[in-house]
Chain A
Amino acid sequence: MSVNWSKYSAPQAFYPLAGRLIPWFAIVAVALMGVGLYMGFFVAPTDFQQGESYRIIFVHVPAAWMSMFLYVVMAVWAGIGMGLNARLSYMMAQAIAPTGAMFTFLALLTGAMWGKPTWGAWWVWDARLTSELLLLFQYAGIMLLRTSIDDTRRADRSSAVFALVGVVNVPIIYFSVQWWNTLHQGASVSMATGSKMASTMLLAMLIMTVAFWLYSIAVILARVRCIMAERESLSVWDEQTAVIQDAAEAR
């Protein structure tokens, strides 16, 4: 039996599908987060150089991965929106931006908390930190551009253009910052600890990554439902009461 996937590109069809999927993603995300954090904090061995402080890696690294990954996903949705002129793609791009910005902020915050005990400073102008900070600025730019334009269609397409410009720019920023950094200071803050990562550590980190991934899907689907409820006429769908509730909670 073949499924007509293109049916779900219409918001009316996608709305209930998203509603059915959210609980599954959310439950599995919470369960995996529990497993990953337990493994990270209780099973994984203590690092011989950094002691217990390294354990923030189980939040920090997956958050940093997600922040970059979500930017690319957002740009892909923006590109699909531009290419196919699909409303749902723009809504997805809009829904991804806040989650991506949140993970970027989380990566910076946990990085600062990790940097204080290991490097002795909350902030250093390391290449990764700097490019992550600039990534946060780009997320902020996209969200600000969207909110300053009242016309939805123009807001969608303008922020899509900016997201696509950004995706070209992010690698350039990354490499330029890396070269700038090597010019200015030595590798005193290199993240390579030299020790090979224990397999439980790696496993816990991967579990946390999958958990963050599923969490992102759940949150983005919930947000995209709110965006649909805001933009489209509510009376079209039978889940009307649920829609109003969701929209009220989102505000």
Chain B
Amino acid sequence: MSRSSMWEAVREVVRRDVLLAMRRRSDAAMSVFFLVIVVSLFPLGVGPEPAVLKTIAPGVLWVAALLACLLSLSRVFTADYVDGALEQMVLAPQPLALLVAGKVFAHWLISGLPIVLLSPLLGLQFGLEGEALGALVLSLLLGTPTLSMIGAIGAALVLGVRGSGLLVALLVLPLYVPVLIFGAGAVTSSMAGIGAEANLSLLGACLVLSLFLAPWATAAALRIALE
């Protein structure tokens, strides 16, 4: 197979998913709204003390981003599974892992990128400023694709299984722990004046590793689900 046809297929997969999401914008908007609401609940629960809010900000923002990403996972494959498009992808001559990577990238564009773009605003709510805000955006920019990558494995494993919504959370959340630690750690350490580089590098390493391994695991899980 020629290399150009492979990339063309990936581009088409991304284009199709983004187009579908644009046709039904409320779906994509929901996870962003969820993030905003969850983040806004914390000051109401913890109290409006600025010092406290500033301390918990990295953790709260990152956990909320993680949950928002988790909630949107069911959209990665379910619709294509129901209408049979996924089966065509498995049968396609292009490598399934590559098509999966395209779908995950589209998922990140739809539900991960809005979180990254919105995060400075939410950070301001919690009194983050300057370098810490930059670290928050950068860490989410590096971390959310990893979340989408790992989440896709879980989404593929529970495809068509009863109670899949809760099950995917139980499977995926423990796997999210390193990303959460490095992501929140980047913001915390930049607030402490140590600099976020170490944690951001580790987030980048996680991203590279998940880019390398997750599409294959997801493809294997999809093949099992569609058998």
Interface residues of A (CB under 8 A from B): 82, 134, 137-138, 140-141, 144-145, 148-149, 153-154, 157-158, 161-162, 164-166, 168-169, 172-173, 176-177, 179-180, 183
What's the least CB distance linking B140 to chain A, in Å? 17
Neighbouring A residues of B202 by C-beta, 8 Å: 176, 179
Which of A134, A144, A145, A161 has a CB less than 8 Å from the CB of B220?
Answer: A161
Is B177's beta carbon under 8 Å from chain A? yes
CA distance A177 to B179 in the complex (A): 11
CA distance A86 to B134 in the complex (A): 51
> Interface code B193-209, partner A: CB below 8 Å = 1, 0 otherwise?
00000000010001001
CA distance A165 to B151 in the complex (A): 12
Binding-face segment, B29-37, B66-74, B83-91, B182-190 = B182-190
15 A-B residue pairs with Cβ-Cβ distance under 8 Å, sorted by A, are A134-B174, A144-B170, A145-B158, A145-B167, A145-B171, A148-B163, A149-B161, A161-B153, A161-B220, A165-B175, A176-B181, A176-B182, A177-B177, A179-B185, A179-B202
Contact A137 B225 (CB under 8 A): no
CA distance A180 to B198 in the complex (A): 12
Interface residues of B (CB under 8 A from A): 153, 157-158, 161-164, 167, 170-171, 173-175, 177-178, 181-182, 185, 188-189, 202, 206, 209, 213, 217, 220-221, 224-225, 227
Contact A161 B170 (CB under 8 A): no
What's the least CB distance linking B164 to chain A, in Å? 8
Neighbouring B residues of A168 by C-beta, 8 Å: 213
Which of B161, B177, B185, B224 has a CB less than 8 Å from the CB of A148?
Answer: B161
Contact B162 A148 (CB under 8 A): yes
What's the least CB distance linking A72 to chain B, in Å? 17
Which of A140, A157, A169, A177 has a CB less than 8 Å from the CB of B175?
Answer: A169
Residue of A nearest to B164 (CB): A148
Neighbouring A residues of B224 by C-beta, 8 Å: 154, 157-158, 161
Which of A158, A169, A172, A173 has a CB less than 8 Å from the CB of B221?
Answer: A158
Neighbouring B residues of A164 by C-beta, 8 Å: 217
CA distance A17 to B181 in the complex (A): 47
CA distance A143 to B162 in the complex (A): 15
CA distance A183 to B190 in the complex (A): 12
Neighbouring A residues of B188 by C-beta, 8 Å: 183
Neighbouring B residues of A161 by C-beta, 8 Å: 153, 157, 217, 220-221, 224
Neighbouring B residues of A138 by C-beta, 8 Å: 174
Neighbouring B residues of A141 by C-beta, 8 Å: 170-171, 174
**Additional A-B contacts beyond A149-B161, A161-B153, A173-B174 (16; CB < 8 A):** A137-B173, A138-B174, A140-B170, A141-B171, A148-B162, A148-B164, A148-B167, A161-B157, A165-B217, A169-B174, A169-B175, A172-B178, A172-B206, A173-B177, A180-B185, A183-B188
CA distance A176 to B158 in the complex (A): 27
CB-based closest 4 A-B pairs:
A176-B178, A137-B174, A180-B181, A157-B224
Contact A158 B225 (CB under 8 A): yes
Which of B171, B181, B182 has a CB less than 8 Å from the CB of A162?
Answer: B171
Residue of A nearest to B175 (CB): A169
Neighbouring A residues of B170 by C-beta, 8 Å: 137, 140-141, 144
Contact B177 A176 (CB under 8 A): yes
What's the least CB distance linking A186 to chain B, in Å? 15
Neighbouring A residues of B164 by C-beta, 8 Å: 148
Contact A183 B175 (CB under 8 A): no
CA distance A149 to B182 in the complex (A): 33
Neighbouring A residues of B175 by C-beta, 8 Å: 165-166, 169
What's the least CB distance linking A239 to chain B, in Å? 33
What's the least CB distance linking B151 to chain A, in Å? 12
Contact B181 A165 (CB under 8 A): no
What's the least CB distance linking A156 to chain B, in Å? 9
CA distance A4 to B77 in the complex (A): 45
Neighbouring A residues of B227 by C-beta, 8 Å: 153-154
What's the least CB distance linking B169 to chain A, in Å? 10
Residue from the set B158, B181, B185 with the largest chain A CB neighbour count within 10 Å: B181
Neighbouring B residues of A140 by C-beta, 8 Å: 170
Residue of B nearest to A149 (CB): B161
CA distance A166 to B157 in the complex (A): 13
Which of A137, A158, A179, A180 has a CB less than 8 Å from the CB of B157?
Answer: A158
